[in-house]
Amino acid sequence: LMLLRGFPNRRAAAAELFTEGEFDDIVPLRNYGLRVAYRRSILRDWLVLETRASVTFPREFADQEREASLGIGIGLEMFFGTDDFLARPVTF
């Protein structure tokens, strides 16, 4: 399940609830969690700053205990050749 939201002034946010796995695998549900991202233009219209955070609960073996795995990220993106920049969250 993913939610995408654009805001005025070249800003956007995204949130994703996800699961990963295969039905016939030893661990059918290998991972699940939540990811969020926020992006906005900074300094120039063509320069975008994106911040990301996540919490996941991976498991590789059937007898393994699930533990929370936290993630955080910061990224820069540059757009060239168009004035039609839209602050779309495209991280996931």
Does some domain include residue 89?
Answer: no
- Radius of gyration, CA atoms only, the chain: 17
Does some domain include residue 86?
Answer: no
3-state secondary structure of 30: coil
Does some domain include residue 90?
Answer: no
- Please name every residue paired with 78 in a beta bridge, in sequence order, or none if there are none: 47
- Tens of pLDDT along 41-61? 898 878 889 999 999 998 888
Does some domain include residue 55?
Answer: yes
Q: How do 44-56 and 69-78 pair as beta strands? A: antiparallel
- Tens of pLDDT along 2-39? 888 888 888 899 999 998 888 888 888 888 899 999 99
- Tens of pLDDT along 67-92? 999 999 999 988 777 666 555 555 54
